[in-house]
């Protein structure tokens, strides 16, 4: 299609919305799927993981030398990715060995073992942990290497049976000498399993104390967590384990030690996640007020702990603290903990991933903007200069084809604010015909305790550059706007999210930005739930694209998911034993008879979070009703697609659904066969 693209300097030619030729094809969007993650430093080098959709969807480990040379540490098929709580977490750690050269430990996705590797040496990675044939086996996350102790301290997730809830999690120490590779007994358990969930331990600078975060069902980590404190003996055992801060209605999402022995942590006790300081000895004496370090700002300095080991702040050697903060969007700032002064880094970035590292005066993170994808960014706090040092964004097409998002706040039911990013159709060579309004697709994000970042997404551009508008809704329940905003969804899942998405779509139609007769909705995971709930609960949308969804609340609550979210519905819907009718009445499965419009259903066959049985049950419920639909199930895919071929097929199928539903001709993708 490239030859038919008009010059960007030409006067835009009117053409039906949705039919505009675009250089942003599905293969291009798929090749840019994912982002760098888990930055860290090893000596004077910067390391991170990054996605490789064309290499089986693996996560590669990458290093940048002090001279700026970037190389891949591990060749395919090595895949640095943890499955702890299924969403994973920090999968690697590195140090410089006494003899010189780096030593890295990492979790390999295929077998979930912890491996060690000296990339400058002759040997291949060697295993540090054993295999287990029980259930999901042994899994590891959030490692910290302690060379003086000859150990890696991390989270151990151990399955004790075949069921998803047959699992225990503890803080553990793995010997670096490989003696545990065939001997489970060689792994030292540092904590007991009194708590269902734990993060990796943080050792104080004097080596005498350790702290970590823990929580229990039915709470999720953004509901309530507790910081656990232990004294560390000379032999490396934990004693005197006790809670320090946190509670059932307070979410602590990160802890780190200051050099003076105080503990820095992020808590939402006052509605917003804020960086605070507490002195453990004062707690023991009975008076330990946690002091906020940047008071008076209604902004988030933390976020939901979906993965183990996320980092929203890191302390520099000079005592200043690098922080990620913002309301809706995020910025990198440097906080003076004594004065509370906060200075933001200059630069175009509006979305920072939950990962930070420091090296001397430098801060390293992962950031994007509305015009650039996620890249590894370094801030030199001595000069104030910020620059890209890894995974640099390059424009694969003329940026004139990128959407220009508009941050907007709409009015929802009962006058509540609803935040959204509006991406109008945009193509330098075309405009819509006079009198025609564009179709729009409402995107419902997953989680639902999450949000849409203000960042370039070529998947959005795939639609907007063809003349289909996209609006991403940060509905009630989303993060980034304080605890009260995200708790709007408490026991209201399937109500508030559906209402807020509909309110935004209705507003765009009412103001003349969108064609009311050509509105669609799409989403994956929890967003797939909101999409299906919208299609079976409203008559607003002409079609919908549903990816790896929850469709049957009762089945999902009764064991059809993994342990981490197995009691999530207690807060999102209510206790099943007390409100069974609510589970039934809100489920798209039991409202399938209300479905009237075409839909596309996408599912990974290896998904244990939202398993295929939910889709199969839903399809059986609509069988014979004459609803046009397509079901695409992908072998080798789990929760969230990663394979290049899957990403391409999914995008092209979704575009074909919209073209058929909205009456758009000339779409350059294979026709999606819809069955009835």
pLDDT of 1 > 50? The answer is no
What are the two backbone dihedrals, phi and then psi, of residue 483, each rounded to the nearest 5 degrees? Answer: -65, -40
How far does the chain reach from its first CA to its final CA, in angstroms?
A: 32
pLDDT of 10 > 90? The answer is no
Same domain for 549 and 447, yes or no, is: yes
Question: How sure is the predictor about 89, in pLDDT bands with cuts at 50, 70 and 90?
Answer: very high
Q: Are 333 and 344 in contact (CB under 8 A)?
A: yes
Tokens of 648: 């391409």
Per residue in 54-73, pLDDT tens?
999 999 999 999 999 999 99
Tell me how far apart the alpha carbons of residues 85 and 639 are, in angstroms, rounded to a whole number.
Answer: 12
pLDDT of amino acid 9: 56
pLDDT of 290 > 80? The answer is yes
Residue 366, strand partner residues:
376
Per residue in 213-247, pLDDT tens?
999 999 999 999 999 999 999 999 999 999 999 99
Same domain for 488 and 605, yes or no, is: yes
In the block, which residue shows the tokens 């849409």? 452
Domain termination residue (choose one: 157, 189, 221) = 189
Q: Residue 18 is part of a domain; what is its CATH number?
A: 3.40.50.1820
Residue 72 lies in a domain: no
Same domain for 442 and 538, yes or no, is: yes
pLDDT of 287 > 70? The answer is no
Q: Are 600 and 654 in contact (CB under 8 A)?
A: yes
Domain termination residue (choose one: 189, 218, 253) = 189
Per residue in 426-441, pLDDT tens?
999 999 999 999 999 9
Q: What mean pLDDT value characterizes the chain?
A: 96
Domain termination residue (choose one: 171, 189, 207) = 189
Residue 245 lies in a domain: no
Same domain for 107 and 8, yes or no, is: no
Residue 216 lies in a domain: no
Residue span of the structural domain in which 610 resides? 2-28+397-662
- Which stretches of 289-375 are DSSP H helices? none
pLDDT of amino acid 281: 87
Per residue in 371-422, pLDDT tens?
999 999 999 999 999 999 999 999 999 999 999 999 999 999 999 999 999 9
pLDDT of amino acid 285: 56
Q: Are 366 and 377 in contact (CB under 8 A)?
A: yes
Question: How sure is the predictor about 7, in pLDDT bands with cuts at 50, 70 and 90?
Answer: low
pLDDT of 23 > 70? The answer is yes
Residue 90 lies in a domain: yes
Q: Which residues of 150-180 are buried (b: 16+ CB within 10 A; e: fewer)?
A: ebbbbbbbbbeeeebbebebbbbbbbbebeb
Question: How many domains are there within the chain?
Answer: 2
pLDDT of amino acid 155: 98
DSSP track, 86-122 = TT-B--EEEEE-TTSSEEEEEEBTTT--EEEE-TTSS
Mean pLDDT of 512-536: 98
pLDDT of amino acid 368: 98
Same domain for 114 and 14, yes or no, is: no
Question: How sure is the predictor about 99, in pLDDT bands with cuts at 50, 70 and 90?
Answer: confident
pLDDT of 3 > 70? The answer is no
What are the two backbone dihedrals, phi and then psi, of residue 153, each rounded to the nearest 5 degrees? Answer: -100, 135
pLDDT of amino acid 289: 77
H or E, element range at 26: helix 26-31
Same domain for 171 and 23, yes or no, is: no
Same domain for 85 and 19, yes or no, is: no
Residue 175 lies in a domain: yes
pLDDT of amino acid 393: 96
Same domain for 482 and 611, yes or no, is: yes
Residue 525 lies in a domain: yes
If we measure between CA atoms, which residue out of 555, 542, 506, 512 comes closest to residue 627? 542
Residue 498 lies in a domain: yes
- The DSSP call for residue 373 is E
pLDDT of amino acid 6: 54
Q: Are 159 and 137 in contact (CB under 8 A)?
A: yes
Using a pLDDT cut of 70, give the percent of the chain over it: 98
Question: How sure is the predictor about 79, in pLDDT bands with cuts at 50, 70 and 90?
Answer: very high
pLDDT of 44 > 90? The answer is yes
Residue 334 lies in a domain: no
- The DSSP call for residue 308 is B
Same domain for 161 and 21, yes or no, is: no
Same domain for 573 and 647, yes or no, is: yes
């Amino acid at each position: 299609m490239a030859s038919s693209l008009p010059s960007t300097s030409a006067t835009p030619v009117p053409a039906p919305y949705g039919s505009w030729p675009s250089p942003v094809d599905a293969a291009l969007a798929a090749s840019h799927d994912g982002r760098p993650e888990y930055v860290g430093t090893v000596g004077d080098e910067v390391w991170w993981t990054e996605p490789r959709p064309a290499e089986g969807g693996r996560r590669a480990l990458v290093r940048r030398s002090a001279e700026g040379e970037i190389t891949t540490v591990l060749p395919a098929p090595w895949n640095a990715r943890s499955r702890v709580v299924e969403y994973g977490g920090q999968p690697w750690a590195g140090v410089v060995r006494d003899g010189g050269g780096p030593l890295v430990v990492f979790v390999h996705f295929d077998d979930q073992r912890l491996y060690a590797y000296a990339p400058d040496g002759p040997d291949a990675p060697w295993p540090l942990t054993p295999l287990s044939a029980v259930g999901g086996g042994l899994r590891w996350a959030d490692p910290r290497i302690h060379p003086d102790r000859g150990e890696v301290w991390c989270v151990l997730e151990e399955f004790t049976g075949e069921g998803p809830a047959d699992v225990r999690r503890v803080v553990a120490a793995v010997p670096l000498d490989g003696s545990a590779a065939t001997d489970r007994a060689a792994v030292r358990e540092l904590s007991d399993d009194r708590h269902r969930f734990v993060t990796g331990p943080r050792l104080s600078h004097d080596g005498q104390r350790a702290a970590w975060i823990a929580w229990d069902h039915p709470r999720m980590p953004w509901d309530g967590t507790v910081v656990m404190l232990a004294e560390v003996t000379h032999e490396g055992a934990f004693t005197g384990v006790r809670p320090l801060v946190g509670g059932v209605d307070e979410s602590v999402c990160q802890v780190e030690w200051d050099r003076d022995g105080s503990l820095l942590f992020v808590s939402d006790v006052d509605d917003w996640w804020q960086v605070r300081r507490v002195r453990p000895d004062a707690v023991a004496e009975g008076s330990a007020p946690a002091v906020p370090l940047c008071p008076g700002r209604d902004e988030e300095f933390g976020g939901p702990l979906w993965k183990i080991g996320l980092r929203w702040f890191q302390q520099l050697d000079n005592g200043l603290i690098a922080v990620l903060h913002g309301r809706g969007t995020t910025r990198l700032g440097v906080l003076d903990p004594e004065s509370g002064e906060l200075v933001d880094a200059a630069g175009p970035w509006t979305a920072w991933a939950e990962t930070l590292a420091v090296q001397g005066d430098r801060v390293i993170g992962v950031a994007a903007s509305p015009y650039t994808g996620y890249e590894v960014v370094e801030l030199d706090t001595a000069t104030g200069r910020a620059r890209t040092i890894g995974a640099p964004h390059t424009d694969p097409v003329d940026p004139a084809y990128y959407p220009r998002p508009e941050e907007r706040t709409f009015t929802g039911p009962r006058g509540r604010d609803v935040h959204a990013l509006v991406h109008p159709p945009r193509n330098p060579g075309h405009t819509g015909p006079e009198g025609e309004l564009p179709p729009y697709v409402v995107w419902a994000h997953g989680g639902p305790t999450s949000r849409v970042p203000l960042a370039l997404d070529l998947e959005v551009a795939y639609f907007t550059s063809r003349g289909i508008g996209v609006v991403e809704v940060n509905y009630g329940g989303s993060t980034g706007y304080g605890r009260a905003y995200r708790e709007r969804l408490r026991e209201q899942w399937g109500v508030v999210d559906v209402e807020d998405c509909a309110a935004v779509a209705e507003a765009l139609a009412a103001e003349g930005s969108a064609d009311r007769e050509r509105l669609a909705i799409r989403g994956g995971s929890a967003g797939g739930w909101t999409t299906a709930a919208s299609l079976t609960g409203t008559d607003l949308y002409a079609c919908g694209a549903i990816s790896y969804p929850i469709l049957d609340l009762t089945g999902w609550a009764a064991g059809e998911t993994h342990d981490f979210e197995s009691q999530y519905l207690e807060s999102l819907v209510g206790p099943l034993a007390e409100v069974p009718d609510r589970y039934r009445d809100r489920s798209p499965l039991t409202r399938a008879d209300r479905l009237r419009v075409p839909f596309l259903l996408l599912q990974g066959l290896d998904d244990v979070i939202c398993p295929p049985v939910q889709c199969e049950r839903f399809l059986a419920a609509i069988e014979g009703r004459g609803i046009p639909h397509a079901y695409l199930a992908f072998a080798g895919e789990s929760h969230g697609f990663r394979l290049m071929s899957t990403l391409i097929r999914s995008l092209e199928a979704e575009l074909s659904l919209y073209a058929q539903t909205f009456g758009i001709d000339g779409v350059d993708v294979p026709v999606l066969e819809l069955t009835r």
